[in-house]
Amino acid sequence: MNNKLGFKTLRYETVDSTNAVLKALAEDGVEPGAVVTAKVQTGGKGRMGRRWESPEGGLWMSVLLETGSAFKDDKFGLLPLMAGASVATAVIMEHDLDASVKWPNDVMIGDRKACGILGELFRTDGRDMAVMGIGVNVNNKVRAANYEFSKVSTSICEELGRPVPLDTLETAILEELGFRMEQLESGESQKLLDDWRSLSSTLGRQVSVSTPAGEVRGLAKDIDDDGSLLIDTKGLLNKVSVGDCRHLE
């Protein structure tokens, strides 16, 4: 990718979804590396068709990536891992919190979810692109009336006991993402996988993953080269490439 991530950043007060806004801009010719942020999202999108609560105080951002050279051989499963590892590292570096990645791409602080990531792939003008939507609960309340946050949500503010600036975290995330994109573009996907392994709170635990083909339970052994989770179910190794993962213990 030629442009530094965030070379162009469009900041909105309120949008339905930063992912939807950035995808429309990409279809109008905005170049990869562009970023959209919003103070509030009225129709924030989560994984599996869920809603993502996005009141003021959170970091709601989307980044446009060109995926052609970084994700060769259809290794798109590395995209969420790359984004999760970038956010977790930025949270650790900026705030010294116990952040980890839960497969495939949630960022946890302790046992609670602080960030969700939604990658959307598309093709425009003959180029393969991804909008990476990153939602971090920073200073927003996660137990507010009128909002349906999950019981296991947390925020950086709640963990630290004080509000923190959004802009430094945004910059740190973009730097981490840019660094990992370069790693993948130069064929160093093993480095990303090792980095993800060392940030993971999933590996070595009993998990239950609900997949389109049903539930898979067992010990999360490792991740494969394409980002799939390898689960040992009573001695049988299952490879899971999509699903919702729950830590059982």
Q: Which residues bind ligand BTN (CB under 6 A)?
A: 17-19, 41, 44-47, 50, 52, 54, 60-62, 106, 116-118, 133-135
The beta-strand segments (E) located in 89-138 are 99-102, 106-109, 112-124, 127-136
Distance in Å, CB of 41 to ligand BTN, minimum = 6
Q: Which two tokens stand for residue 183?
A: 């790693």
Q: Which is nearer to ligand BTN, 62 or 201 (CB)?
A: 62
- Give me the residue whose beta carbon is nearest to ligand BTN: 116
Closest to ligand BTN by CB, 91 vs 189, is: 91
The CB-of-71 to ligand BTN minimum distance in angstroms stands at 19
Least distance (Å) from ligand BTN to the CB of residue 9? 14
CB-based contact 196:84 (threshold 8 Å): yes
Backbone angles phi, psi at 175, to 5 degrees: -65, -45
Query: Which residue, 45 or 180, is less far from ligand BTN as judged by CB?
Result: 45
Question: Within a 13 Å sphere around the CA of 80, how many CA atoms are in the beta-carbon half?
Answer: 25
Nearest residue (CB) to ligand BTN, 172 versus 189: 172
One-character DSSP codes across 222-245 = EE-TTSPEEEEETTEEEEE-S-EE
**Smallest distance from the beta carbon of 190 to ligand BTN, in angstroms?**
26
